[in-house]
Chains A and B, each alone.
Chain A
């Protein structure tokens, strides 16, 4: 009985989380434009989605920035994590404070501070500034996922490699990096997702010309109903679900092997 109640409670919470999403997906098949009235099944919003240049542009901006920010921040963050790991205690603590600083700043303050930086240095806001901002908020997350893996690593492995004649560079690429590979991948995925989902920081660091999906949705939501956006989010949702299933299958296979 108690078990049933527990399950019931969890399902209520999950319903709460999923209802808007289901509504959104259903609406994407609504023939009419209205949010409330069902006017028959139709795929027309999906067709219009691919014809809408501003949405396609925003999609391109979002994905390309997410990829670029992920690559740069993973490299920068992994290097930094290795650096921080091999520092002495005092500088290490200082670097950790620096890394935690962006986490303690609300998004809106981060966004505004970067906007002020770009305006102050007279850098025209646009694609590049948005990318720089995304890298900035991504890197600390990469560091925070790589560092624990480094700490878990057996210190003697690296020394053993050196004793066996490996150069420090060789030991780095063949011992340290493979050891924290899992952390690097987690960090990269985290960076990608964060960049994909960011609204506030992008909003302040771009010009009206370069819009990512979030800022586009924000401006479109203010005009009125735009069912094409429902179609887009339904597609992205399904794509991510499939990706998740593939990843899950692969990890399951790996653990069997």
Chain B
């Protein structure tokens, strides 16, 4: 198959101009002080990021504050608060019979609250499951660490969509778990198409993101600290609560961020395992853009999502000012 790789002429012109400017800048700096000014090396990247990260974000803001004709409006945010906003305006114009049906639509706000709640649950469960796992992996006496890390990474190589679909074949009414239960003589249980299934899918997909940062921090911890605490009379539990746990907090915070953020915005998992019964915020954004073609409202929702995440991140950063948690591995 062959693909059209063509770009508009101005895109080529822009790229060419950028490249020439970069080379010229380097050349000029070489001539001036007999050496490359190395901070210039970041110039292409800066340009790239401005073009493909900063400008797009500005575009989201632009669409969020304008209507279809491009005029300034706050209606998109009113639409967030009242998902029936446009409908109600139409009803009001259609006479008293229709006006009787005017109510505030809570779809967007409900969905946001539901997504935050699900993401919260997912984060808590991942933390409860992941912390002990990271702790045991980092346990020096067991000598498991690095090889287990690999075992945790390997599943992530398989496309996450396929792994989620594989859960379907386990959870369905005629699925493997129910077949097994029936074989044991129990009644089948309804496992698919509810919040529980969505939660399971989310925990499954995001658990490694909780385990890695915690493991990294724990494995770097000086074992002498724990020994010192025990020498000073702490029992194992106290050593854990007074020494290990507080020192691992940066990893926990980094883990929370890495689990919470993708879980608020996931839209594939709720659709496959939840059967479209309850939308999450990612679904809503996708619906507005790709099914309803309503980019202005969709942009407003994205903007709200972004601000919400930035606020929660900055709160988390306060708890880990030095950013010791690091990223993955």
B199 at the interface (CB under 8 A from A): no
A35 at the interface (CB under 8 A from B): yes
B150 at the interface (CB under 8 A from A): yes
| Contact of B204 (CB < 8 Å), options: A6, A20, A104, A109 | A20
A172 touching B36 by the CB < 8 A rule? yes
B176 touching A217 by the CB < 8 A rule? no
| Contact of A9 (CB < 8 Å), options: B57, B63, B133 | B133
How many whole Å from A183's CB to the nearest CB in chain B?
13
Q: Which residue of A lies closest to B302 (CB)?
A: A109
A209 to B264: give the CA distance in the assembly, Å.
Answer: 29
Say yes or no: A95-B59 contact (C-beta < 8 A), given A10-B137, A106-B306, A193-B157.
no
Q: Which residue of A lies closest to B286 (CB)?
A: A108
How many whole Å from A182's CB to the nearest CB in chain B?
13
B39 touching A87 by the CB < 8 A rule? yes
B181 at the interface (CB under 8 A from A): no
Q: Within 8 Å CB of A21, what residues of B?
A: 155, 158, 163, 166
Q: Within 8 Å CB of B141, what residues of A?
A: 3
Q: Within 8 Å CB of B157, what residues of A?
A: 193, 197, 236-237, 240
A102 to B157: give the CA distance in the assembly, Å.
Answer: 22
| Contact of B40 (CB < 8 Å), options: A83, A108, A114, A236 | A83
B247 at the interface (CB under 8 A from A): no
Chain B contact patch, size range: 35 or more
How many whole Å from A25's CB to the nearest CB in chain B?
9
A236 to B163: give the CA distance in the assembly, Å.
Answer: 13
Q: Which residue of B lies closest to A54 (CB)?
A: B1
Q: Which residue of B lies closest to A169 (CB)?
A: B36
Of residues 160 through 193 on chain B, the ones whose CB sits less than 8 Å from some CB of chain A are 160-163, 165-170, 172, 174-176, 179
How many whole Å from B191's CB to the nearest CB in chain A?
13
A113 touching B267 by the CB < 8 A rule? no
A117 touching B59 by the CB < 8 A rule? yes
B306-318 near A? 1/0 per residue, CB < 8 Å: 1001100100000
A3 touching B142 by the CB < 8 A rule? yes
A66 at the interface (CB under 8 A from B): no
B158 touching A237 by the CB < 8 A rule? yes
Q: Within 8 Å CB of B285, what residues of A?
A: 108-109, 112
A67 at the interface (CB under 8 A from B): no
A221 to B268: give the CA distance in the assembly, Å.
Answer: 11
A255 to B26: give the CA distance in the assembly, Å.
Answer: 39
A199 touching B161 by the CB < 8 A rule? yes
15 contacts between A and B (CB under 8 A): A10-B144, A21-B163, A24-B158, A79-B45, A84-B39, A91-B39, A106-B262, A113-B59, A116-B60, A133-B52, A136-B53, A167-B35, A199-B161, A199-B268, A241-B154
Which B residues contact A (CB, under 8 angstroms)?
Answer: 1, 3-8, 11, 35-36, 38-46, 48-49, 52-57, 59-60, 63, 129, 132-133, 136-137, 139, 141-142, 144, 148, 150-152, 154-163, 165-170, 172, 174-176, 179, 204, 207-208, 261-262, 264-265, 267-268, 272, 282, 285-286, 289, 295, 298-299, 302, 305-306, 309-310, 313, 327
A-B pairs, top 3 by smallest CB distance, nearest first, are A83-B42, A113-B56, A80-B45
